[in-house]
Structure 1
């Protein structure tokens, strides 16, 4: 699984203008089974997205995010293999 860390590189109002399209992109990821979960950083300086697949697949998918298409965020990709999970999250183990 891949953890994608997003860091915004534009003012908050620019992010807000593209947020609906980004949320649609995330919903498409849920429907396809690629996206496990996503959320904003606190304070709101970016976000975190966790996806199934390889790093190459995550990078290709991230390139279609409206935030990436419009140059609004930088992305960092971290591959992880969960080995210890809380009860109810066993499906996350590799």
Structure 2
């Protein structure tokens, strides 16, 4: 599993101007079966995505995020080897 932590490099107003294409990108990540959960950080300094898949594919996908392309945010990708979950979240062990 991967934790994709994005941090805004530009203002929230600038992020809002690119939010629609970014959210299209997020929805495509869910459609591919890579994204499991996502949301904004509180306070709003960026966001977090929980993802599964191959690291190289995830890295390439992050590079194509409109937020990355337009310099709105940078990503930190952390790989987590999940060993224990509550019932129903076994998919995190992939």
TM-score, normalised to structure 2, is: 0.92
Cα distance in 1 for partners of 2:52, 2:88 equals: 18
Equivalence for 1:49: 49
Q: Describe the superposition over 1:3-59 as per-residue Cα deviations: whole angstroms up to 9, x where unpaired.
A: 111000001100011111111101111111111111110001011112112322211
Contact 1:55/1:77 (CA < 8 Å) preserved in 2?
Answer: no
Moved runs in structure 1, 4+ residues, more than 4 A? none
Provide the rounded CA distance (Å) in 2 between the counterparts of 1:89 and 1:53.
Answer: 15
Mapping for residues 72-83 of structure 1, pairs under 5 Å: 72-83=72-83
Normalising by structure 1, report the TM-score: 0.92
CA distance in 2, matches of 1:55, 1:93: 14
Instruction: Write the distance in 1 (CA, Å) between the matches of 2:86 and 2:20.
Output: 32
For residues 52 and 88 of structure 1, the distance between their equivalents in structure 2, rounded to whole angstroms, comes to: 16
Aligned residue pairs: how many?
94
Judge which range, 54-63 or 73-82, deviates more.
54-63
**Partner residue, 1:92:** 92
* Gap regions ≥5 residues in structure 2: none
1:18 aligns with 2:14: no
Q: CA RMSD in A?
A: 1.1
